[in-house]
Structure 1
Amino acid sequence: MSQSLTDFSGLIRSARESAVHLELRDEYRVENEVDRFAAWQRGHRLDVDDRASWWRPWLDLVQEVTAKGVAVRRARIVSEPVSEYIAFEHSGTFTNVAAGEEVRWLPRSRASDLLLPGNDYWQFDGRLVQFNIFDGSGNWVRTDQTDDPVITRRCASAFDAVWERAVPHEQFTV
């Protein structure tokens, strides 16, 4: 089970200035990526010149919100050496960048002194946080949302600290 893109699209479309995403796991088993990961494991790679084959409708949504001036940033904290799943994510991240996302990677060893939340999250305009709760195998379980000012400030601070240290996608190698 996963949150539908339809449900999530309303949240990201409501952003006026920013939508930031902090990813903390080395593997995910979300429905919309299982087949793409298996194909990647068999040697399939995305064609830079074939935009129609990229993940839709997510990339269309990113293009839509960035076109109206919303900064969409994603930071991934990863173990090194990276897991096979992270290598898969890295190989396709050029599509996120082409759609308008800014993506950075932070080796986990460089995050030891940072205070981070226990779950991945999206934060919209610094005012609403949606935590994504996964089980131990990387399966999506549910989302929890909060607009508690203390929590939203902590999440914004955590993301900013990660972003400052993280390596831009174009410079990060796996």
Structure 2
Amino acid sequence: MQQSKPRSTTFAELLAAAQHSAVHLEMRDGYAVGDEADEFAHFQRTGHVDLDPTARWWPAWLGLVREAVGRGVVMRRARIVSEPVTDYIRWEHASTLLNIQAGEQVRWLPRRKAFDLALPGTDFWLLDSRLVQFHNWTGDGDWHPIEPKTWTEDAAVVKLCADAFEQVWDRATPHDQYTV
């Protein structure tokens, strides 16, 4: 894979430079990133999700989404999940309302409906159908410490990701119709 370093290096900068679209494909049944650990542990103990958009990491993310959507960027997120879903996916589903309120469109695809799709090996963001940012994870679901993210503008890789996302999106169920 030909790798290129984008002019901007943080995701916030990449999203701020997006002009038309930002799509995200998630394919893991659980993540263990530090900034959401407390909220997920609270959900596991209580079954309650804090939908306060000012809590923890939400203000920064929701602000990025609102700003992008406000200038015309269409933000779509698709999640491929195993069923029955994990506790993490149950928590993620319950907290997705905040993503939607900020302007993201979110759909869910049961893994059994994705068996015949050609999918990249990891989650990714595709910005303006030209730049892919792959996420590299440890087996436990945290960011890989050496190379957490990989960017490319390679046309073949961009096409693979764009095609994969659109196929998932077409088969997936809108958030308000998917139950966990």
Q: TM-score range by the shorter chain?
A: over 0.9
Identify which of 102, 107, 110 aligns with 1:107.
110
How far the C-alpha of 1:52 sits from its partner, in A, is: 3.2
How many Å separate the matches in 1 of 2:54 and 2:123? 29
Indicate whether 1:164 and 2:170 are aligned.
yes
How many Å separate the matches in 2 of 1:51 and 1:119? 28
What residue is the counterpart of 1:129 in the other structure?
Answer: 132
The secondary structure found in structure 2 opposite 1:12 is helix
Q: Are the aligned partners of 2:53 and 2:59 in contact in 1 as well (CA < 8 Å)?
A: no
Supply the AA of the counterpart residue of 1:156.
A
The secondary structure found in structure 1 opposite 2:84 is coil
Supply the AA of the counterpart residue of 1:52.
T
How far the C-alpha of 1:36 sits from its partner, in A, is: 1.2
Supply the AA of the counterpart residue of 1:157.
D
Supply the AA of the counterpart residue of 1:46.
D
State the percentage of identical aligned residues.
Answer: 52
Q: TM-score with structure 2 length normalisation?
A: 0.89
Q: RMSD of the TM alignment (CA)?
A: 1.3
Indicate whether 1:144 and 2:146 are aligned.
no
Q: TM-score with structure 1 length normalisation?
A: 0.92
How many Å separate the matches in 2 of 1:114 and 1:103? 19
How far the C-alpha of 1:127 sits from its partner, in A, is: 0.2
The secondary structure found in structure 2 opposite 1:21 is strand
**Larger strand percent:** 1
1:98-122 CA-to-partner distances (Å, cap 9, x unmatched) read 0000000000000000000001000
How far the C-alpha of 1:32 sits from its partner, in A, is: 1.2
How far the C-alpha of 1:35 sits from its partner, in A, is: 1.1
The secondary structure found in structure 2 opposite 1:46 is coil
1:131-170 CA-to-partner distances (Å, cap 9, x unmatched) read 0010111011111110000110110000000000000000
What residue is the counterpart of 1:57 in the other structure?
Answer: 60
How many Å separate the matches in 2 of 1:144 and 1:51? 29
The secondary structure found in structure 2 opposite 1:140 is coil
1:47-90 CA-to-partner distances (Å, cap 9, x unmatched) read 4xx44347221011100100000001000000000001000100
The secondary structure found in structure 2 opposite 1:57 is helix
Supply the AA of the counterpart residue of 1:161.
Q
What residue is the counterpart of 2:6 in the other structure?
Answer: none
Q: Which runs of 4+ in 1 moved over 4 A?
A: none
Indicate whether 1:46 and 2:50 are aligned.
yes
